[in-house]
Amino acid sequence: MTRRWTAGGGGFSTRRPPARRRPPAAGRDTFGYVVLTPFVRQPRGSRTGAGLGVPDPASYDVPPAIHVVRILVLIMVLVTVPLATPNSGAGPKTGALAVTLVVCGVSFVIWELSRNRPRTWVAALTVMGAAGGVLAGLTPLSTAVAVGFVVTTAAGARLPTESSVAITAETIAAFLITGLTTGADASALVGWSAGFAGMWAFGLSRRAYLLRAVEAEEALEQARRAQAAQTQAAALAERARIAREIHDVLAHALAAVSVNLQAAEGLLDAAPGGSAEVAKAMECVQRASALTREGMTETRRAILALRDDEAGRDDYVSSAAGGRSAVDGSSADGGPGTGLILPGRLRALAEQHAAAGDAEVTFAITGQPRRLTTEAALTAYRTAQEALTNARKHAPGQPVTVTLGYPADALTLQVSNPLPSPGAARPLTDTGLGYGLTGLRERAALAGGTLTAGPDDEGWQVSLRIPG
């Protein structure tokens, strides 16, 4: 817990550390000051006062209107009281009047300026209460009573009951003693004493209202935190369900495919003869086995990322994008293309695609490669993967051009291919679920970029642009 000093006639307020992002809780500190959060503005980077653990006076303040009203009251008292009875020719009362006016003015200024010094603040308020009572007793029919009203109201609103009662009683006692000594009218003494007590009661009601407001704010913040925790728990449960589905469906399926490919490789290796067809089949099986193992590795990483929340996701994104950096070649264990810069990974992907089919794949780079975020690099790599797969499915045998660009303000990737002739065989068209491009658009949006896909004058083109 940290004790903070509220502004403008305030006291200590009790708050939890800022990292908890919780509003101040109502209560008292060692000096007995209550929380007055509704008056407090909380700018960033507040500094603490020496030895008391309170903020710098510039860090907290009450609304400017309150300061303006207080200053106007002081000016009104200083201007109008000397014009009231007794006047400048009234003898000893004039000297007493001048002294109390000076004391009231000085203590008022100290009170306003001592927002980060609680002892000084309390002392100034106490002195101002006594001086205000004496001043009102000297001129009970003038505006001098305004000083006592300010003191008793501030004490009732800002201090605990015991402290505020003491200051209010001091103010009333000083007023009554001075009034009786100077022979003030009894009705004025009774009336203004009741007025001081009434303003103190008003301050108490104001403090109760403020504390209720603080408690309501605290309850609202707790409800928000509870709702956020519930939402996070639901999201984690859904991620765990998705991880189970991936493990039970995709991982098991890939494992089964890998086993069957190994069996096929063994059968082909044991087949008699050394025909070119058998060699080609063996090459395809070996390539499929490598792709299956790679897919299983990334599937395991994806499951780990879903299970381990943000830490696992960051590791997955970083490793899948090619290590710690997308351009500097630093490595991380596992993952396709680990330790390669993004252009190298895309070039390897293009060569892999060309080797797996009968289509020519051209890879080109424009601009000077530079350091990228792992999210941007992974988005570009996944876009190229999906675009090349779609070209193989919907335009088999057609040449594909992959262009990676580094303009000054963005990363761009374009994958284009001619459209197949009408009636051309497309045996892989019906494979897949049809959500590849939708997923790429979502991934691009998460990275802050845009993705477009569709026909143009030369065929089909997929374009990705990520600012930065």
pLDDT tens for each residue of 33-67: 333 433 333 333 333 333 333 333 333 356 678 77
Binned at pLDDT 50, 70 and 90, residue 423 comes out as: low
Q: How far is CA 243 from the centre of its chain?
A: 28
| Mean pLDDT (whole number) for 378-399 | 85
Compute the average pLDDT of residues 297-322. Answer: 61
Band of residue 22 on the pLDDT scale cut at 50, 70, 90: very low
DSSP-derived pairing of the beta strands 12-15 and 450-456: unpaired
Does position 87 have pLDDT exceeding 70, yes or no? no
Note the pLDDT of residue 248.
Answer: 67
Q: Return the pLDDT at 73.
A: 85
More confident residue, 224 or 22: 224
Answer with the residue of higher pLDDT: 114 or 107: 107
Residue type, 242: I
Lowest average pLDDT, out of 344-358, 372-386, 407-421, goes to 344-358
Which residue, chain included where needed, has tokens 């044991």?
A: 270
| pLDDT for res 5 | 42
**Contact 258/292 with Cβ under 8 angstroms?**
yes
- CA atoms lying within 13 Å on the CB side of residue 257: 18
Band of pLDDT at residue 320, cut at 50, 70 and 90:
low
Comparing 467 with 8, the larger pLDDT belongs to 467
Report residue 261 as tokens.
């490919």
| Between 326 and 306, residue with greater pLDDT | 306
Is a pLDDT exceeding 80 seen at residue 336?
Answer: no
Evaluate if residue 340 carries a pLDDT over 50.
Answer: no
Q: What's the pLDDT band for 225 if we cut at 50, 70, 90?
A: very high
**Residue with more model confidence, 338 or 447:** 447
Q: Are 395 and 460 in contact (CB under 8 A)?
A: yes
What b/e string do you get for 435-460 counting C-beta neighbours within 10 Å, with b at 16 or more? ebbeebbebbeebebebebeeeeebb
Q: Is the pTM of this model over 0.75?
A: no
Whether the CB-CB separation of 89 and 82 falls below 8 Å is answered with no
Q: What are phi and psi of 377, to 5 degrees?
A: -65, -45
Q: What is the mean pLDDT of residues 197-212?
A: 88
- How wide is the angle at C-alpha 336 spanned by C-alphas 332 and 339, nearest 5°? 40
Average pLDDT of the residues in 396-400? 85
Provide mean pLDDT across the span 125-140: 90
Q: Give the pLDDT confidence score for residue 425 in this predicted structure.
A: 63
* Mean pLDDT value across residues 169-198: 91
* pLDDT of 300 strictly over 60: yes
Assess whether pLDDT exceeds 80 at residue 86: no
pLDDT at 263 over 60: yes
Mean pLDDT computed over every residue of the chain: 74
Cα(278)–Cα(280) distance, integer angstroms:
5
Range 64-82 average pLDDT: 82
* pLDDT of res. 92: 72
Find the mean pLDDT for residues 358-362. Answer: 82
Lowest mean pLDDT across 87-101, 126-140, 267-281, 419-433? 419-433
Per-residue pLDDT band at 342 (split at 50, 70, 90): confident
**How far apart (Å, rounded) are the C-alpha atoms in residues 396 and 406?**
29
Mean pLDDT value of segment 177-192: 89
User: Which of 82-91, 134-143, 189-198, 430-439 comes out lowest in average pLDDT?
Assistant: 82-91
How far apart are alpha carbons 149 and 157 in whole angstroms?
Answer: 12
Q: How many CA atoms lie within 13 A of 438 on its CB side?
A: 4
Q: What domains does the chain contain, in order, with CATH numbers? A: 2-223 (no CATH), 340-420+433-468 (3.30.565.10)
